[in-house]
Amino acid sequence: MESAIFHLNTHEVDERFVQSIRALFGERRITVTVTPEANEVMNQALLEKIEANERATMSYHFSAEDFDTLVEAFAEDESFDLKAAFEQHKSAPSSTVQPS
């Protein structure tokens, strides 16, 4: 089965693009699906979160072991309160909370 995936911007969909599809597939019947690139949507959301984190006044630092324990508890228990766990970690004597 022949297929082609094109990654392009909407302004690049022109007659030349259509002609290239016709040249590639000839007179055969084709299916065309158009979707926004998932990475672009996810990247924008990730960039927004990174920017928000950079503006945060506090940051939390976990050891790898403490973080693994937190993740395991979160994965095993649907009612696990992640926010409360962070607050508990923040108030623990061995935790590290630093101004950003």
Global pTM reads 0.38
For the chain, which ranges sit under pLDDT 70? 1, 40-41, 93-100
Please count the structural domains in the chain.
Answer: 1
In a domain, 34, yes or no: yes
Residue 93: the pLDDT is: 56
In a domain, 20, yes or no: yes
Residue 16: the pLDDT is: 93
In a domain, 24, yes or no: yes
In a domain, 1, yes or no: no
If we measure between CA atoms, which residue out of 22, 41, 40 comes closest to residue 32?
A: 22
Structural domain range at position 18: 10-99
Q: How far apart are CA 38 and CA 43, in angstroms?
A: 8
pLDDT (tens digit per residue) in 8-30: 988 999 999 999 999 999 999 99
